[in-house]
A and B are shown apart, each in its own frame.
Chain A
Amino acid sequence: MIPPVEAPRGRGYRRPMAGWWRRNPYFFWYMVREVTAVGVAVYALVLLAGVVCLARGEPAWNGWLAAMRSPVSIALHLLLLAGMVCHAWSWFDIMPKTMPMLFVGGKRVEASTITRAGWVVAVVAAIALYVVARMLRP
């Protein structure tokens, strides 16, 4: 148990936090990473819309596909793709931080190795998905 503070909260001058994320490039990129999570959520909704349309039958599905092919949609997709890559990159970067120490053959596994492994899996999975998608095309 951490003892509660009895006296007035510490002595000293407290500097304001407003605009903290602009003070250091590291914080700026952290905020960008957080925003890309919104992008991920947006894309999940787009896909959900697609699934709902699929369930409603062929006209609805074709309507959704047409919407996806529109120039606005392509632009949005490119933006979201950039966000997703950024998100994945920052996620793989922080992934080693979430894991306990790994030892392989008595040697400590470096954080960079874990990050690279993450990327390898992601790329392989993406390629596999694409190949399967192509194979299943009617």
Chain B
Amino acid sequence: MTVEPRHIEIEVLRYRPGTDAEPVWQSFRVPFLDDTSVLEGLQAIKDDQDGSLSFRWSCRMAICGSCGMMIDGVPRLACHTFLREFFPGKVRVAPLDHLPIERDLVVSAEDFVRKLEGITPWLVPREARTLAQGEHLQTPRQLEQFRQYAGCINCMLCYAACPQYGLDPEFIGPGLMALIHRYNEDSRDGARAERMELINAEQGVWSCTAVGYCSVVCPKHVDPANAVNQNKVNGALDWVKQRVGLKGASK
């Protein structure tokens, strides 16, 4: 059975370094069906109208985190946003807010990746364990404690959602705080102390003013706002512990 496609206008924010002084909007019209995503719309533009439109994508199923964009002013994954939602109006597609634009819809992930490398984002076991000893035991309840935070696909939508990050890119940001929290809450991990310094820093949780939009836009329901704001309590308690002379966490 063939279904006749409808047509929709997609307006894209272009930017070609060396050619454009600043980003400029460009309009295209593409055919679409009920299950055509914005990503497929962009691919149709690139394949058949303008091959110079650059954007990141891969899995098409909201798990690789490549295709984050501002779609009608909201940070969303292009592969999981459907053109039917905007019809008969037009849809405006721009690169993620708060991140520098490298080209067209491609933003720089350098800051995010550099910070990711610095937060001790690996399991530091509480005690050494050989392979022969088998797996750590971890109950479903213990797994539940951190599972949601481990679901972050590094799509950076939360960075585009966070005005504090936009105003001060020194802020670690919601996604990475969630990753720090993922490891802290993992029953097998013993490096909470190492990570406390990052949490309690000015560019750690204290840059967050609980706007909460990060958790609204997160496509994987990681709830980074929760990770950040829970750690305000942890950070404050740690500060008190140190002042009182108790063996605090951070050095």
A and B interact physically: yes
Binding site for B on A (CB under 8 A): 1-3, 5, 10-15, 17, 20-21, 23-24, 26-27, 30, 34, 93-94, 96-101, 103, 106, 108
Q: 0/1 per residue, B181-213, Cβ < 8 Å to A?
A: 000000000000000011000000000011111
Q: Which residues of A contact B111 (CB under 8 A)?
A: 10
Most chain B Cβ neighbours within 10 Å, of A14, A21, A23, A106: A14
- Are A3 and B117 in contact, with the CB atoms below 8 A? yes
Q: For the complex formed, measure the closest distance between the CB of A120 and the CB atoms of chain B, giving whole angstroms.
A: 22
A12 touches B101 (CB 8 A): yes
- Judged by a CB distance under 8 angstroms, whether B40 is at the interface is no
CB distance from A105 to the nearest CB of B (A): 12
Interface residues on B, range: 35 or more
Among B29-37, B127-135, B221-229, the stretch in contact with A: B221-229
CB of B4, distance to nearest CB on chain A (Å): 35
Question: Interface on B for A, CB 8 Å cutoff?
Answer: 15, 17, 22-23, 73-74, 97-102, 107-108, 110-111, 114-115, 117-119, 141, 144-145, 163, 166-167, 172, 197-198, 209-213, 215-216, 223, 225-226, 229-230, 232-233
Q: Is the CB of A30 within 8 A of B166?
A: no
* Cα of A3 to Cα of B141 in the assembled complex, Å: 35
Given known A-B contacts A10-B108, A20-B166, A23-B73, A3 and B100 have beta carbons under 8 A apart: no
Evaluate contact between B22 and A13: CB separation under 8 angstroms: yes
Q: Which residue of B23, B108, B167, B230 is within 8 Å of A17 (Cβ)?
A: B167
A-B contact pairs, 15 of them (CB 8 A): A2-B119, A5-B114, A10-B108, A10-B110, A12-B107, A13-B17, A13-B101, A14-B101, A20-B167, A24-B73, A26-B211, A26-B213, A27-B211, A97-B223, A98-B229
Pair B101/A97 contact, Cβ less than 8 Å: no
Q: How far is the CB of A18 from chain B (nearest CB, A)?
A: 10
Known interface pairs A11-B108, A13-B17, A27-B213; A97-B226 also in contact (CB < 8 Å): yes
